[in-house]
Amino acid sequence: MVSDALVALSGGMDSSFALSLCIERYSHVRAGYVDTSGCGIPPEVKDTAGAAGVELVIVDASEKFQREVIIWSEKMLSLGLTPNPCARCNARIKLLSMHKILKPSEILVTGHYARKDGALVQRGVDPSKDQSYFLSLVNSEIVKDCIFPLGDMLKENVRKEASHLSIPFRKKESMDLCFNLTIGDEKPGRVMDLTGREIGRHNGVGNYTVGQRKGLGAYGRRMYVVAVNSLDGTVTIGRKKDLLSTGCTAVEMNWFRKPSSFPAEVLVQIRYRRKAVPAILDYEDDNLHIEFSRPEEAVAPGQVCAIYLNTSVIGGGIISSTEQLDWKSDE
């Protein structure tokens, strides 16, 4: 019987407040910190655990993080893909590391703005902070042992209550990556239009992603990256309408609840801040094919595609290819 809790602590407000909630709800509480940098325990983590009077367990995952997240992300970028390091880190580093030290009597608690629907991850009630998308790659065996106490709360209320309780936490909320990416030996290449004509030069495919507008130079009108090809070193640009895709293929699927039959009607979300849209799932050559109900903009190979039934995540995978709506230029 679960009567205790292991709280994944980061030093930020959300996990610190989750720890305070667990102290009220569980018989025995431990805090765990996953060190991904190799720099040891941040003072905020020590202060939070100390103020709560709980045992603090440290897991050194710095080497695995370097290999599984940083090097992987840099390789993806060098191939012209758009990685999602945070979703991969949740699945392969942070939640996995905490789950490995979980005792039979404990539930794993995180500060994610998400909820549980049985064995499924469900969207948090705060639409501006919902983090269910970032949990779509986490193994179902880990998810079933998790709870997300902030999922039923609004971020602004969490902030008010944490401040009222004088809980120690890192005041500055970081929305950026927790590491710097380097592309490596990037070679200049050709910038192409949709007719295959060279119209400029770029400084390495790893510096560009589908949908990008900044850093392209002046072409007399607003242009966007519509494709990145690491094989021939080209970056293809076009107008905003050229970013539209009718569908995509997803690989490395992680299922919480696989549809019982295909084709299947679902909702899919192709980026964190993008609204989920209706789509049809089917399998083609052992890969999951996704057909959007209407063309989607800036579908980027390498990004996570989270699959929902209503508000519950039933799976997630990595976008491997897209199907463009129209590759013809007006010119």
| Identity at 63, one-letter amino acid code | E
Q: Domains for the chain: give ranges and CATH numbers.
A: 4-164 (3.40.50.620), 189-238 (no CATH), 244-324 (2.40.30.10)
Q: At what angle do helices 43-52 and 13-25 cross, to 10 degrees?
A: 20
pLDDT bucket at 329, cuts 50 / 70 / 90: very low
Q: What is the pLDDT of residues 83-124, one digit of tens each?
A: 999 999 999 999 999 999 999 999 999 999 999 988 899 999
Residue 178 annotated as catalytic: yes
**Whole-structure pTM value:** 0.88
Q: What angle do CA 86, 272, 211 make, to 5 degrees?
A: 105
Q: What is the mean pLDDT of the chain?
A: 90
pLDDT, tens only, 169-203: 666 665 556 666 666 557 888 998 888 899 888 88
From the list 86, 146, 178, 248, the catalytic residue is 178
State the DSSP code for 153: S
Q: In whole angstroms, give the CA distance from residue 8 to residue 32.
A: 5
More confident residue, 162 or 49: 49
Indicate if 22 belongs to the active site: no
Q: Which of 89, 146, 248, 305 is catalytic?
A: 89
Non-local CB neighbours of 293 within 8 Å, separated by 6+ positions: 277, 278, 279, 280
Contacts of 260 (CB under 8 A, 6+ apart): none
